[in-house]
Amino acid sequence: MLRGFTTVSYYAEDLEAAKAWYTELLGVEPYFEVPGGYAEFRIGDYQHELGLIQGDYAKHDLGAVPGGEIIFWHVDDLDATLERLKSMGATEYEPKIERGPGFTTASVIDPFGNILGVMYNQHYLDVLSELAGSGPKSAK
């Protein structure tokens, strides 16, 4: 039934500032935009979508609490990633926690109030290695 992660969306009161911040963080420009309303990036090994939505469309108070679900993105060097995120104005939400051998998580709040989870995940690397060269799996 659930085939895979497609898009995670974050809201930002200042969409242009959020777009610039994520462009710097990700090292790529958005591949799709709706002027004044939405910007979307394709990132990672599977080209997942990260969408930024103008805050006016949010159904919740953006200033009340950090927003968004915590989706953990695999990173190869968690310490370096956290250092870079903090140098770009993100603040710690959940400190680095070892969840078990090969599984360490942390999360930050981006400058726009969204929770961004990062994780070193050995399982992710194992699955990626198994899929390398095999092509996409077809649904039956």
User: Could you please report the per-residue DSSP string of 16-38?
Assistant: HHHHHHHHHHHTS--SEEETTTE
Q: What's the CA gap between 13 and 130, in Å, rounded?
A: 41
Per-residue pLDDT tens over the stretch 28-74:
999 999 998 999 999 999 899 999 999 888 777 877 777 766 788 99
> 84 versus 5: which is more confidently predicted?
84
Identify the residue whose tokens are 């953990």: 72
- Percentage helix, strand, coil for the chain under 3-state DSSP, each rounded to 5: 25, 35, 40
Per-residue pLDDT tens over the stretch 8-27:
889 999 999 999 999 999 99
Report the amino acid identity of residue 139: A
Q: What's the CA gap between 86 and 82, in Å, rounded?
A: 6
Q: What's the CA gap between 58 and 78, in Å, rounded?
A: 30
CATH, range 66-135? 3.10.180.10
Put simply, whether the predicted model's pTM sits higher than 0.75 gets the answer: yes
The Cα-based distances of 69 to 30, 36, 37, 92 in angstroms read 21, 23, 20, 16
48-54/7-12 β-pairing = parallel
Confidence (pLDDT) at 2 = 53
Q: What's the CA gap between 83 and 20, in Å, rounded?
A: 19
Comma-separated ranges of CATH 3.10.180.10 domains in the chain: 1-56, 66-135
> 1 versus 97: which is more confidently predicted?
97
Second CATH level (architecture) for the domain 1-56? Roll (3.10)
